[in-house]
Amino acid sequence: MSSEVVRLEKQGDVALITIDSPPVNSLSQPVTSGIFDRIAEANADSSVRAIVLTGAHENFIAGADISELQNLADGKAKLDTKNVGRLTGKLDELEANKKPVVMAIDGFALGGGLEVAMAGHWRVGTTRCRCGLPELTLGIIPGAGGTQRLPRIVGVQKATEMMLTSTEARGKEALDLGIIQEMVEPDKLLIAAVAAARKLADGQAKPVRASQLADKIGTADDARAIMQGARMIGGDKMRNLIHPEMCMDAIVCGVAEGYAAGVKREAENFAKCLASPQAAGMIHIFFATRAAPKVPGVTDQKLEPKKIERVAVLGGGTMGSGIATALLQAGVEVALKEVNDEFLQAGRGRIDGNLQSRVKKGKLAPDKYEQMMARLRPQTDYAGFDKVDMVIEAVIENIELKQGVFVDLEKAVRPDCILASNTSTIDLEVIGARTKAQDRILGTHFFSPAHVMPLVEVVRSKHTSPQALNSAIALVKKLKKTPVTVGNCVGFLVNRIFFPYGQTALLLVDHGIDPYKLDKAVYDFGMPMGPFRMSDLAGVDVGKFAGGILAKAYSDHTYISTLVDHLFEAKRFGEKTKIGYYKYDGKKAEPDPALAGFVQKARADAGNPKPLALSDAEIVERVLFGVVNEACRCLDEGIAIRPSDIDVACVMGMGFPAYRGGIMKWADTLGAKYVHDKLSAWHKAHGPVYEPCAYLKRKAEKGESLVK
Ligand code: T1G
């Protein structure tokens, strides 16, 4: 018997069971029942002495079906507590199976996929196999024995680290850790697995029953100490989260009270996590990240993206060198052009430094580093630009300069070469105004540091061709980053929707709220830092420049405080001058009592408005609802394609907590009406920066979701 997703075929006395459920062999209900039905058939067949389980399409199993988990987390389906732990029970039966079961792992065995594999009696992996328990990236924990079997295979320390950081053991590391017993080249996998199965059946090899392994599990006190260490390392990153603790609790329970108690606790904790808003938020971001590169009318038109193998980067400053680094790491040849040799060498040095730091961290092999640097061609002219497939301009934010550069580029490159700008604020049509190339001009707005941050805003003007856009999106995916396609407006998406964040924070300070209390409230909510600390990081001067452009572009709904001007005049530019909103001893930020003087001046300039007394929660709403409102404007204007794109962009571009699902998912938990009514009240009290937009008004009136 076979089903279309799990088939059984016999190789002599060995039953080969193959999971074939594209795209990633996830453990949907049909796959899960198919696996155990085929195993039961193999057991019932007296001619079968052993079983091999493997996956088709060069992958094993990518874990539970996350769309099924999403329905449960969003409350669209009810979690039947009898179901939780059912897979664990089936895997315990598998582990106790009389006939040996060998797992043949090529590609990924993740989450439930690795849990299935660990219940087998022997694991053969390929050199490219990827074994991990990444459930915590979804706001949940392993729910099918992973918190018990992995510590027994690799030890509590390594297992805890792998689960809490969602890191994979690949190939040789999986072999060294004992996750797989044999490692072979992909084309030898099934031969080796069938041979292993026969050896087990003949008693020539001893089955590995992970739940019974005891040599690496250590004592309960050891385990507790390991968790304490993990909390120290996790530090503030674990604030507001429940699933890391739930995971550690299940691990320790299993060490202290044994496997059976451990899986029971795991099931209880798994259910608690799945019911938490954090799981709903993180699963939302999982799918949102995969939806973002899909642009209706562009990526669904069967347009073949242009092969981009050579890119010229103009400007070797922080951004240009970061972009060049990202390109080199993705195997792209890079021509780095600067205006003179001094700047060129500095840019080359930044690129070298970026790559060297990865070599030092053991994340980049020295020979790969050499190959990358060999693909870099520094120059101060346009020689060879007729051979590049794309140019990414990253010169200073000066309109005349950029316009001139694009005129020169149009002459130097081929007519099909894509011309991208990394501008963060200037209108693309203005940049290309003196060219005839508007159809192949677009924005690739990287976030600093460009070789690290996962987000790239791919900006299209009304002239940008689908082909050019499609090719740019494909390039960003090649860089292993997430492209979010946005419209051409001042600030594009992230910088635009976050300008009310800074402005309303200043409004509250002008109304008597202590800036350090405000920063802490926003930090405790889950942002990586408060708005004032972030301003010091980016530079108070930079904020003044960019803020001025945004305030001019959106002058009908801004709030201007003079606090920034007073700090600017006093040359308090933030971290780079060791003084801004905070004072700096190295990287450590300390409140500065002298700030009060500047705040008083700004308050006086604002007419000393009646002070507000706000709770932390009220501060967070007053600072973030303006962002929600501007995001709604961006949806209304078509600057953003879908609400979930805004969520991805906020998480990846501004560090908005993924466990809250992004700004729109979070606002949706409060409801459009709640947000709208609060903004209306603040609009009356404080002016246009809070005026709710038409889109939000419509959603509030109709009681519609902000994320659908
Ligand atoms: N369930 C459902 N769909 C999935 C999926 C999954 N587990 N994994 C991927 N997809 C979809 C994805 O949405 C996309 O769809 C397509 O597959 C390709 O994905 C019981 C409870 C496997 C490394 O966390 O890390 O097991 O956009 O673009 O870059 O204890 O997908 O094409 O329509 O990412 O080659 C634990 C999640 C689940 C692994 C492949 N497992 N997936 O990366 O392709 S919880 C995970 C990934 C669990 C157990 C618990 C990656 C990948 P579409 P992709 P990729």
The model's pLDDT over 522-551, given as tens digits with 9 standing for 90+, comes to 999 999 999 999 999 999 999 999 899 999
The catalytically annotated residue of 93, 95, 135, 429 is 135
Closest by alpha carbon to 479, among 508, 505, 444?
A: 444
pLDDT of residue 78: 82
Residue 2 pLDDT grade (very low, low, confident, very high; cuts 50, 70, 90):
low
Q: Where in the chain do CATH 1.10.1040.50 domains reside?
A: 496-702
Backbone angles phi, psi at 633, to 5 degrees: -60, -40
Q: Where in the chain do CATH 3.40.50.720 domains reside?
A: 310-488
The reply to whether 701 belongs to the active site is no
Q: How far is the CA of 316 from the centre of ligand 1 (A)?
A: 37
Residue 83 has pLDDT above 80, yes or no: no
Q: Is the CB of 134 under 6 A from ligand 1?
A: yes
Q: Where in the chain do CATH 3.90.226.10 domains reside?
A: 2-275
For 7-22, how does the pLDDT look when each residue is reduced to its tens digit (9 = 90+)?
999 999 999 999 999 9
The reply to whether 135 belongs to the active site is yes
Task: Among 3.40.50.720, 3.10.20.600, 3.30.390.10, 3.90.1150.10, name the CATH number for the domain at 310-488.
Answer: 3.40.50.720
Nearest CA to ligand 1 atom 43: 24
Nearest CA to ligand 1 atom 33: 290
CATH topology classification for 496-702: N-(1-d-carboxylethyl)-l-norvaline Dehydrogenase; domain 2 (1.10.1040)
Q: Is the CB of 281 under 6 A from ligand 1?
A: no
Nearest CA to ligand 1 atom 21: 64
Q: How far is the CA of 26 from the centre of ligand 1 (A)?
A: 7
Residue 604 pLDDT grade (very low, low, confident, very high; cuts 50, 70, 90):
very high
Q: Among positive and negative, which fits the CA dihedral 375, 380, 384, 387? A: positive
pLDDT of residue 491: 93
For 450-496, how does the pLDDT look when each residue is reduced to its tens digit (9 = 90+)?
999 999 999 999 999 999 999 999 999 999 999 999 999 999 999 99
Q: Is the CB of 111 under 6 A from ligand 1?
A: yes
Average pLDDT over residues 300-319: 94
Residue 1 has pLDDT above 70, yes or no: no
Burial class (CB in 10 A: 0-12, 13-18, 19+), 26: buried
Average pLDDT over residues 337-358: 96
Average pLDDT over residues 337-360: 96
Q: Which long-range contacts (CB under 8 A, 24 or more apart) does 661-664 make?
A: 661/277, 661/280, 661/281, 661/282, 661/284, 661/285, 661/707, 662/281, 662/284, 662/285, 662/288, 663/497, 663/624, 663/627, 663/628, 663/631, 664/628, 664/631, 664/706, 664/707
Residue 397 pLDDT grade (very low, low, confident, very high; cuts 50, 70, 90):
confident
Q: How far is the CA of 62 from the centre of ligand 1 (A)?
A: 6
pLDDT of residue 65: 94
Instruction: Please choose from 28, 31, 58, 66 the residue to mutate so as to test ligand 1's pocket, defined by most ligand atoms within 8 A of CB.
Output: 66
Q: Is the CB of 26 under 6 A from ligand 1?
A: yes
pLDDT of residue 74: 85
Q: Is the CB of 146 under 6 A from ligand 1?
A: yes
Q: How far is the CA of 486 from the centre of ligand 1 (A)?
A: 25
pLDDT of residue 81: 73
For 625-655, how does the pLDDT look when each residue is reduced to its tens digit (9 = 90+)?
999 999 999 999 999 999 999 999 999 999 9
Distance in angstroms (rounded) separating the CA atoms of residues 314 and 421: 9
Residue 587 has pLDDT above 80, yes or no: no
Task: Among 3.30.70.80, 1.10.287.310, 3.40.50.300, 3.90.226.10, name the CATH number for the domain at 2-275.
Answer: 3.90.226.10
Q: Is the CB of 65 under 6 A from ligand 1?
A: yes
CA dihedral 225, 228, 230, 236 (to 10 degrees): -170
Q: Is the CB of 115 under 6 A from ligand 1?
A: yes
For 177-231, how does the pLDDT look when each residue is reduced to its tens digit (9 = 90+)?
999 999 999 999 999 999 999 999 999 999 999 999 999 999 999 999 999 999 9
The catalytically annotated residue of 9, 41, 95, 115 is 115
Instruction: Please choose from 5, 24, 83, 84 the residue to mutate so as to test ligand 1's pocket, defined by most ligand atoms within 8 A of CB.
Output: 24
Residue 3 has pLDDT above 70, yes or no: no
Residue 691 has pLDDT above 90, yes or no: yes
Residue 77 pLDDT grade (very low, low, confident, very high; cuts 50, 70, 90):
confident
Q: Is the CB of 290 under 6 A from ligand 1?
A: yes
Mean pLDDT of the chain: 96
**What share of the chain has pLDDT > 90, as a percent?**
94
- Let me know: does 102 contact 197? Beta carbons within 8 Å: yes
For 141-189, how does the pLDDT look when each residue is reduced to its tens digit (9 = 90+)?
999 999 999 999 999 999 999 999 999 999 999 999 999 999 999 999 9
Q: Is the CB of 59 under 6 A from ligand 1?
A: no
Q: How far is the CA of 142 from the centre of ligand 1 (A)?
A: 15
For 88-117, how does the pLDDT look when each residue is reduced to its tens digit (9 = 90+)?
999 999 999 999 999 999 999 999 999 999
Atom number, ligand 1, closest to the C-alpha of residue 141: 30
Residue 245 has pLDDT above 60, yes or no: yes
Q: Is the CB of 66 under 6 A from ligand 1?
A: yes
Distance in angstroms (rounded) separating the CA atoms of residues 163 and 147: 8
